[in-house]
Amino acid sequence: MESFDEIWEMIQNMERQKMLRSDFNDEETMKLLCCSKCSDIISLSMKEERFCSCGASSGIYTDKLNAVFKGEHCIPIGIDNNKFIKAIKMAQIENKHQEEPTTCKGVDFTAFVILDCATTITKENV
């Protein structure tokens, strides 16, 4: 006969596996900008151009996929939405089942610097 702890661990593992099999649109990427002058990281918007705190970098979505980045200090960043959403959900599960205080760093997800040659961005040094 299995103990309560063993059954509880099986339930937690089943929740984790269900989460990992969830379907998300893995073709979408959230775009951010990082300003190398002031170190701000800003999310882009489709409604308005957004600026870092020093004003040297800005960006705006032109549609759901494409964006324009401006400024010589502007570094385009992408986040894999699929992995980001899964990381959030996994963190929620882990938080719910955490029994003792911990200094756990959390759940990893994929972020990357978007290269200037990417077809989904236009980079302008103004």
pLDDT of 11 > 90? The answer is no
Mean pLDDT, rounded, for 90-99: 78
Q: Which residues contact 92 (CB under 8 A, 6 or more apart)?
A: none
Report, as an integer, the average pLDDT of 60-65: 91
Q: What is the pLDDT of residues 100-116, one digit of tens each?
A: 766 677 788 889 999 98
* pLDDT higher than threshold 50 for residue 30: yes
Cβ pair 80, 109 in contact under 8 A: yes
Range 49-74 average pLDDT: 95
Q: What is the pLDDT of residue 25?
A: 45
Give mean pLDDT, residues 24-32: 65
Report pLDDT for 17.
59
- For all residues of the chain together, what is the average pLDDT? 82
Exposed, middle or buried: residue 91 (CB in 10 Å: 0-12, 13-18, 19+)? Answer: middle
What pLDDT, on a 0 to 100 scale, did the predictor assign at position 116?
A: 87
Cα–Cα–Cα angle for 29, 30, 34, nearest 5°?
Answer: 125
DSSP string for 87-124: HHHHHHHHHHH--S----------EEEPPTT-TTEEEE
Residue 53's pLDDT band (boundaries 50, 70, 90)? Answer: very high
Average confidence (pLDDT) over 57-83 = 93
